[in-house]
Amino acid sequence: MTPTDKIWHNGRFIAWDEAKIHVLSHVISYGSSVFEGIRCYETKQGPAIFRLREHTRRLLDSAKIYRIPIDYSIDQLIDAQVELVRLNGLRSCYVRPIVLRGYGGVGVMPVNNPTEVFLACWEWGKYLGDEALSEGVDVCISSWNRIAPNTLPALAKSGANYMNSQLIRMEAHHNGYAEGIALDAEGRISEGSGENIFVVRDGRIHTPPLGSSVLPGITRDTVVTLAQELGLPMVEAVIPREMLYIADEVFFTGTAAEVTPVRSIDRIQVGSGRRGPITAKLQKAFFEIVEGIAPDKHGWLTPVPAAVAAK
């Protein structure tokens, strides 16, 4: 990771190296953080942040679920993120807002642990490897299930949920796969360690509903909307594991992973073993929007004004 100049902390910009917390902050022992991941794309009209309001809203939703008080409004946080990208002079980047319970009281009960809000950004390339978007990735079903209902809330993007994601991702990596797909507590398809999943069979696109322990992905929502616009049949449905093995196409969606085809699962080839036609259509529509080529009819792009001194 290449450091940038500035990080936003509780209302002001500080130097990258000064964005520190005490080791006894509540978050360190108890995982009490919520966060976001947002991409800013380079477009012909300059840098533009994709679905900034929806991501910021989900950040506030995650904090609300965990009763973490935040002193900033959605509009303040949106403006701060635009200013962050502008100040750091990046053409494209990944924005990472983090809300955490800080230093103060001891014990699980977060009394006198002030909320700290940080907004950082950096340049981040392809998530699942350079060729993932065109060639597809080889993945496995994880031996770890996704978090069960009423244990850790899946709708919240909390740091703690990513302990589960780490188990899934590390296991996949050690066994030679790019990613792992987790089943939910009932054994139905849930999601990847850092992506939502879509399964295509006979021209119909399926994705697990929010009740299958998935993060309500912004890219997931984007792809559902694009499929509707392209007239591609799309259903939210509880999906059995074995559907993956007989699918014509499978793909992941996520801010980091964007729209990534899956070419094999547990070494069983998916469809033709390469990016399928429906995946290709949705991928194309997605990149035309984020890169500012197609008209932004949903208002999904927030332009970043030119930096004082571009780097």
Q: Interaction with ligand PPE in 160-179: which residues (CB under 6 A)? A: 165
Kindly state the smallest distance separating residue 119's Cβ from ligand PPE, in Å. Answer: 15
Neighbouring-strand partners of residue 6: 15
Residue nearest to ligand PPE (CB): 37
Which of 74, 256, 294, 307 contacts ligand PPE by CB under 6 A? 256
Q: Interaction with ligand PPE in 4-43: which residues (CB under 6 A)? A: 37
d(CA 94, CA 38): 6
| Contact between residue 129 and residue 74 where contact means Cβ atoms under 8 Å apart | no
When asked if residue 195 is in the footprint of ligand PPE (CB under 6 A), the reply is yes
Which of 40, 82, 218, 262 contacts ligand PPE by CB under 6 A? 218
Which residues of 81-211 form beta strands (DSSP E)?
Answer: 93-101, 115-122, 137-141, 179-183, 189-192, 196-201, 204-207
Q: Interaction with ligand PPE in 126-145: which residues (CB under 6 A)? A: none
Is the CB of 59 or the CB of 265 nearer to ligand PPE?
59
Structure tokens at 18: 């000064």
| Contact between residue 198 and residue 223 where contact means Cβ atoms under 8 Å apart | yes
| Contact between residue 252 and residue 192 where contact means Cβ atoms under 8 Å apart | yes
Of 104, 106, 103, which is closest to residue 20 (Cα–Cα)? 103
3-state class (DSSP) for residue 219: helix
Which of 219, 264, 283, 302 contacts ligand PPE by CB under 6 A? 219
Is the CB of 138 or the CB of 191 nearer to ligand PPE?
191
Is the CB of 184 or the CB of 195 nearer to ligand PPE?
195
Exposure string for 128-163, b = 16+ CB within 10 A, e = fewer: beeebbeebbbbbbbebbbbeeeebbbebbbbbbbe
Which of 7, 100, 139, 215 contacts ligand PPE by CB under 6 A? 215
Is the CB of 47 or the CB of 159 nearer to ligand PPE?
159
CB under 6 A: which stretch of 40-48, 109-117, 241-249, 250-258 binds ligand PPE?
A: 250-258
Q: Quick one: DSSP state of residue 243?
A: G
Of 13, 77, 99, which is closest to residue 4 (Cα–Cα)? 13
Task: Respond yes or no: is residue 281 known to be catalytic.
Answer: no
Kindly state the smallest distance separating residue 219's Cβ from ligand PPE, in Å. Answer: 3
When asked if residue 196 is in the footprint of ligand PPE (CB under 6 A), the reply is yes
Is the CB of 19 or the CB of 152 nearer to ligand PPE?
152
Is the CB of 80 or the CB of 259 nearer to ligand PPE?
259
When asked if residue 159 is in the footprint of ligand PPE (CB under 6 A), the reply is no
| Total binding residues toward ligand PPE, as defined by CB under 6 A | 16
Of 281, 282, 235, 241, which is closest to residue 265 (Cα–Cα)? 241
Which residues of 237-294 form beta strands (DSSP E)?
Answer: 249-254, 258-265, 268-269
When asked if residue 183 is in the footprint of ligand PPE (CB under 6 A), the reply is no
The pairing of beta strand 179-183 with beta strand 137-141: parallel
Kindly state the smallest distance separating residue 217's Cβ from ligand PPE, in Å. Answer: 3
Q: Which of 157, 281, 284, 311 is catalytic?
A: 157
| Contact between residue 220 and residue 206 where contact means Cβ atoms under 8 Å apart | no
CB under 6 A: which stretch of 16-24, 131-139, 248-256, 274-282 binds ligand PPE?
A: 248-256
Q: List the catalytic residues.
A: 157
Residue numbers of the site for ligand PPE (CB under 6 A)?
A: 37, 165, 191, 194-196, 215, 217-220, 253-257
